[in-house]
């Protein structure tokens, strides 16, 4: 190879490496703003956070939160349907840009994704028929509690099952969990209080109720690990919409109660 060809080849290689570096440095926020579209992962099987209308249109608190964010950022809103178990993988495999789907903040999850500042709260409960003599973990002995696989209820109850002598039955998604409860296959479930209310309405006998509270969780928007610019923009958006009351209005509309005052900053 001549000296001129060698130099030309080296320049070409340097250019390709430069392009590779630029591609590696491109972040999710850049991609979102350039595409004018944001892909938001939300579970439509957990009313009132995510559900379908009779005309098969997505609705719910988390759907409206996602739509509001997209509107505020001047972007097209694209819903990426998910289940509890696939919310985080959707971020890691870049199927979604963010997750808005009753995603509870836990130390274990924070190891693999980043969380925004909380935009809502979740009351996690064990629910079942109100004639069951269950009021605490200690009174679960001999019973079976159904959970959705990979949820905070699953991770909270599974380590306690042997200690307190109860069984945990896992279902792959919330829709299947609800079907099991409505059909009578599951006598007790561990899930959000709002989903217990939804099960009670489907049964129609007004006797499937929260039996005791497991824990209160902050709900946050999930972002792929290391996406600092996107996380900062999401945090600013959450702060703004907590302050102006829009997130509280969405929560009140679908859950029938306001967000905690310490979250909204109201008196």
d(C-alpha 218, C-alpha 215), whole Å: 10
Every domain of the chain and the residues it spans: 29-119+220-257, 122-217
**Distance (Å, rounded) from C-alpha 200 to C-alpha 205?**
7
Q: What local confidence, expressed as pLDDT, does residue 261 receive?
A: 86
What is 29-119+220-257's CATH number? 3.40.190.10
- Amino acid 26: pLDDT: 54
Q: Do domains 29-119+220-257 and 122-217 have the same CATH topology?
A: yes
DSSP 46-113: BTTTBEE-TTS-EESHHHHHHHHHHHHTT-EEEEEE--GGGHHHHHHTTS-SEE-SS-B--HHHHTTE
Domain 122-217 belongs in CATH node 3.40.190.10: yes
Query: Which whole-number Å values give the CA distances from 152 to 2, 106, 235, 253, in the listed order?
Result: 65, 8, 23, 25
Query: Per-residue pLDDT for the chain (267 aa), expressed as one digit of tens each?
Result: 554 444 444 434 444 444 343 333 459 999 999 999 999 999 998 889 999 999 999 999 999 999 999 999 999 999 999 998 899 999 999 999 999 999 999 999 999 999 999 999 988 999 999 999 999 999 999 999 999 998 989 999 999 999 999 999 999 999 999 999 999 999 999 999 989 999 999 999 999 999 999 988 899 999 999 999 999 999 999 999 999 999 999 999 998 888 888 888 765
Residue 51 pLDDT: 94
Entry pTM: 0.77
Q: In what order do the strands lie in the sheet with 167-171?
A: 167-171, 144-148, 188-192, 120-129, 208-219
Query: What pLDDT does residue 1 have?
Result: 53
Distance CA 259, CA 267 (A): 12
Return the structure tokens found at 137: 């973990």
Q: Quick one: pLDDT at residue 200?
A: 95
> How high is the pLDDT of residue 267?
58
């Amino acid at each position: 190879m001549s000296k001129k060809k060698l130099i030309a080849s080296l320049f070409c290689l340097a250019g390709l490496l430069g392009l590779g570096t630029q591609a590696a440095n491109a972040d999710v926020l850049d991609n979102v703003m350039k595409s004018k579209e944001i892909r938001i992962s939300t579970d439509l099987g957990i009313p009132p956070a995510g559900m379908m209308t009779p005309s098969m249109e997505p609705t719910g608190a988390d759907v409206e939160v996602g739509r509001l964010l997209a509107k505020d950022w001047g972007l097209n809103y694209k819903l990426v349907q998910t289940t509890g178990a696939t919310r985080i993988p959707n971020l890691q495999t870049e199927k979604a840009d963010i997750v808005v789907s009753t995603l509870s903040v836990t130390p274990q999850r924070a190891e693999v994704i980043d969380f925004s500042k909380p935009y809502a709260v979740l009351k996690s409960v064990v629910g079942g028929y109100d004639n069951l003599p269950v009021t605490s973990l200690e009174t679960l002995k001999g019973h079976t509690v159904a959970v959705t696989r990979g949820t905070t209820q699953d991770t909270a109850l599974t380590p306690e099952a042997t200690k307190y002598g109860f069984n945990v039955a896992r279902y792959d998604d919330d829709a299947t969990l609800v079907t099991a409860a409505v059909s009578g296959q599951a006598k007790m479930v561990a899930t959000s209080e709002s989903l217990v209310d939804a099960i009670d309405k489907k049964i129609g006998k007004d006797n499937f109720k929260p039996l005791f509270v497991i824990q209160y969780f902050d709900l946050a928007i999930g972002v792929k690990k290391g996406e600092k610019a996107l996380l900062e923009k999401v945090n600013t958006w959450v702060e703004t919409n907590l302050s102006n009351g829009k997130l509280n209005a969405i929560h009140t509309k679908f859950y029938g109660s306001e967000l905690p005052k310490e979250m909204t900053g109201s008196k």
